[in-house]
Structure 1
């Protein structure tokens, strides 16, 4: 805080812990002189701060670009090959399956619900549910639930999937207490207990298996035979009153009956999971159809269109100029070489044909996808896309997915992060033990590095981004052909530019951040030095003002003395 007090003929100023004089004593505006001198010292820091602000704004723009490129990769990952890709996916939309179930009696609805994973085969099945799986239920004799039973003993209880648990009963326990004791260990035993009212004040203790198709086992452990006394078991240990026997689920699929312990079957047909809802009425059936999930493919394509248009809008806004011909205020990356290169690379992929395509669909336009005058993408003909998906899904898949062929099947392509196609002969040499020693193309062994069974394209070389695995039995030459699919080209492009760790955009963000840190350090040093310089000036001018003020005071005293003598 700065305070000012007027003490003729000077002004006392306090700034922090420093007090100094300015004003009328010398006739100089020393405060302005100090301010101007310090401003001159801090001017370079102001310039650095402005650069940091500009860089920060640019970093934010780059982060937006990075996010938009990642959005492209996310959409295309559902259409890219699950191998050979720069993104890690276990399945894609072309492998996804859809399942529909119709009942012959449509009014009754289907008896099953079914889901499919990517391994399920496209086919049609006839299914009937012959029997639902059920858990075993047994009951005691009817008795009061709140009267002490007078029984002291222990018994064990479990179903086939549980572990035998001991239930201890004391003479003061009621039927309700016994049920609670059984339920206390139900999670371990696999048997639960409940009380069912069968008359006024009269209840049955009902024991139920927690798992379907699993028999309940009991035995007396010590003391009174509690379960026999309750009428649950007879003298031989068998159940007296079985309400529901443990039974399996029975399903007939295309004439073959399959049994299962549960009403949820996961291994009846490979790739399919069944939930049995009810038994099928006599003379009725369910028709189950497994087919490619065309909607997933179409959704992935439309998601890509949306992601592409968002990126294109960003590029256009950063290329905009105002009415005066200068960059628009929001065009932070105007004429930015990285943005230009990314845009041109993407445009080349969009405009080109897929080298992997094997049928009638070689590019996006063949699927009814077009660009307008503003380079915005649209699905201008949905019928074209729908017909392509329904009639030639494999050909659509070949447009998007990279293909790989090798004259030796033991050569496996592990990854391809390149957007290019390749056709070359890989010459491999081994040592006496069969271990790989080199891999070359046209005699140049610097193009690949070898480590164990891995053959990796050298960074910066013609085959960068390729990695193979090979178990060789001797020197060999392998013809390799890689045709890049459209989706894999997009995901490789996104990895090259948008990867948050190694992408070109991230490299620029990191570089700007490093530059900002250095500029900020320099600015802080300049301002620290300027603050010290200000203190020096303050002390200098304060001392001057005090000397001038003292001189004027002495002059006044001398004049007064001289004037007094004259008057005498």
Structure 2
């Protein structure tokens, strides 16, 4: 009797050694394939979605790069955002007056946000550190034979006591002094004069202050090596300490350091040498033009990277159908982003356009920067460039300030602020639209055109305040791209999240179809195995009957 076997492993033979001659495996696979065809269709849909998701995610990333680049040029509001504002970057521009090399006598560092200003600087004297040296000894490594304790420090500072043993050499004394230099502020070194002459050099760590020493107990070690005389005075002063003296716009200033940071807020003068007679250096604190230029170039690069992506999505084949790489061909979100970005870049601000800073479009709408035009514009009027690119608000009252801003308020409106007898704000409106009052803050309400705006009013009387707003090109670009590309709540974030949810649902549906198909496979396998067994049994019976009938003959 022919045997019948079965297994439940997917994709392997379920029946073998058919006595019936029927190909049960093929029948099972055909039936299961019919059941899983829907899952295969779903897989194709998931694959298409994943390809489109990758395109959306790339678009989101590229738009975020535009957001970041635009942020630097839009004069963002809020204390924490000031660090992003390239127009608050400051630089010091030095100009020599007379026969002096300005960079060899002076450098200046400026903190971002410092006030503009121009100063005439003469360096009358630079600060110097006190340096003293001992008498000579024959060897730097031989024991000197002194046992004593001395103190060492800077005038007005902390002193350190140093214990010297008779088996210590000049090098070991220098090492002992250096071990406490963080306390004393003094460093020591051994100077080789010749093979038989070595001297101990002490140098003050600060300029404009004297080294102070004294013998505490035992041998007068410092007098023994000829650093001081019997009265404690230094025997050989290589360099006297002295303060720096600077004339700033004719006002003489004395400081102990060559780094002077307490004369003008945010400005530090680094002195290197005296200016020759009848010379000076003009220091102009102004906007860091190189930072502005770099920020504009970064915006161009970010936009062009996005534009190349968008251009790819618009390509068609020779037959007129979308190209294989154009995964977002005809996509409404992409089209909306392109239109808003184009509108922003083509906006005129006070009769100025991007052409005034050297920007133009090529044949594929990429931005091209003419650096010569931009350099001239920066040198001529950086404030005009800021007005072209940045957000700006002016008001008729100095009591009103802006803490945060939205994207849709009108460019001109009037704030009506009501204050009670105690000076508390009771209500506020902007062109008749109610604002939320929180102490001195006036907040735009969600859903209104003033959403996102936060004003602060420090006045004590009711007042009507006229407000003018300008949305520069970088501000418009930021608002457009941030609304679409923001990772948390931008338009693309919603689309991506929705597509991911769809894929999750489709994957679960495909898995369910395949699970049911495998259950169906098991059922068919068992059923066909039963059929095969019965056929085999019938054939065996038939063979037995044939044999029996033949034996009777």
Task: Note the C-alpha offset of 1:194.
Answer: 1.0
Q: Out of 235, 240, 243, which is 1:248 matched to?
A: 243
Report the counterpart of residue 77 of structure 1 in structure 2.
71
Find the aligned partners of 2:372 and 2:539 in 1 and give their Cα distance: 99
Secondary structure at 1:210 match in 2: strand
Find the aligned partners of 2:157 and 2:525 in 1 and give their Cα distance: 88
Is the 8 Å Cα contact of residues 95 and 102 (structure 2) preserved in structure 1?
A: no
Per mean C-alpha deviation after superposition, the further-off stretch among 464-473 and 337-346 is: 464-473
Find the aligned partners of 1:23 and 1:326 in 2 and give their Cα distance: 53
2:546 maps to 1:559: yes
Cα RMSD of the aligned pairs, angstroms, is 3.4
The 3 A distance-change label for structure 1 pair 382 and 204 is closer
Secondary structure at 2:206 match in 1: coil
Report the counterpart of residue 30 of structure 1 in structure 2.
24
The 3 A distance-change label for structure 1 pair 283 and 106 is closer
Secondary structure at 2:47 match in 1: helix
Task: Note the C-alpha offset of 1:308.
Answer: 2.3
Secondary structure at 2:104 match in 1: coil
Q: Out of 123, 133, 136, which is 2:130 matched to?
A: 136
Task: Note the C-alpha offset of 1:443.
Answer: 4.6
Q: Out of 339, 342, 345, which is 1:344 matched to?
A: 339
Report the counterpart of residue 211 of structure 1 in structure 2.
206
Secondary structure at 1:207 match in 2: strand
Is the 8 Å Cα contact of residues 421 and 483 (structure 1) preserved in structure 2?
A: no
2:440 maps to 1:453: yes
Find the aligned partners of 2:188 and 2:141 in 1 and give their Cα distance: 16
2:506 maps to 1:512: no
Task: Note the C-alpha offset of 1:532.
Answer: 3.1
Is the 8 Å Cα contact of residues 85 and 488 (structure 1) preserved in structure 2?
A: no
Task: Note the C-alpha offset of 1:418.
Answer: 0.5
Find the aligned partners of 2:98 and 2:416 in 1 and give their Cα distance: 62
The 3 A distance-change label for structure 1 pair 76 and 549 is same
Task: Note the C-alpha offset of 1:531.
Answer: 2.8
For residues 88-124 of structure 1, give each alpha carbon's deviation from its aligned partner in whole angstroms, at most 9, with x where no partner exists: 5454247543524447447897322334445566666
For residues 494-549 of structure 1, give each alpha carbon's deviation from its aligned partner in whole angstroms, at most 9, with x where no partner exists: 32222222322222222222332333333333333333332333233233323323
Task: Note the C-alpha offset of 1:20.
Answer: 4.0
Is the 8 Å Cα contact of residues 82 and 92 (structure 1) preserved in structure 2?
A: no
Find the aligned partners of 2:315 and 2:375 in 1 and give their Cα distance: 37
Find the aligned partners of 2:113 and 2:432 in 1 and give their Cα distance: 42
Find the aligned partners of 2:120 and 2:298 in 1 and give their Cα distance: 36
Report the counterpart of residue 395 of structure 1 in structure 2.
384
Find the aligned partners of 1:146 and 1:367 in 2 and give their Cα distance: 69
Is the 8 Å Cα contact of residues 161 and 190 (structure 1) preserved in structure 2?
A: no
2:357 maps to 1:362: no
Is the 8 Å Cα contact of residues 84 and 417 (structure 1) preserved in structure 2?
A: no
Task: Note the C-alpha offset of 1:237.
Answer: 3.2
2:416 maps to 1:427: yes
Report the counterpart of residue 159 of structure 1 in structure 2.
154
Per mean C-alpha deviation after superposition, the further-off stretch among 335-344 and 14-23 is: 14-23
Q: Out of 515, 523, 530, which is 1:536 matched to?
A: 523
Report the counterpart of residue 4 of structure 1 in structure 2.
none
2:293 maps to 1:303: no
The 3 A distance-change label for structure 1 pair 102 and 425 is closer
Secondary structure at 2:317 match in 1: coil
Is the 8 Å Cα contact of residues 402 and 488 (structure 1) preserved in structure 2?
A: yes
The 3 A distance-change label for structure 1 pair 564 and 271 is same
5+ long unaligned stretches in structure 1: 1-6
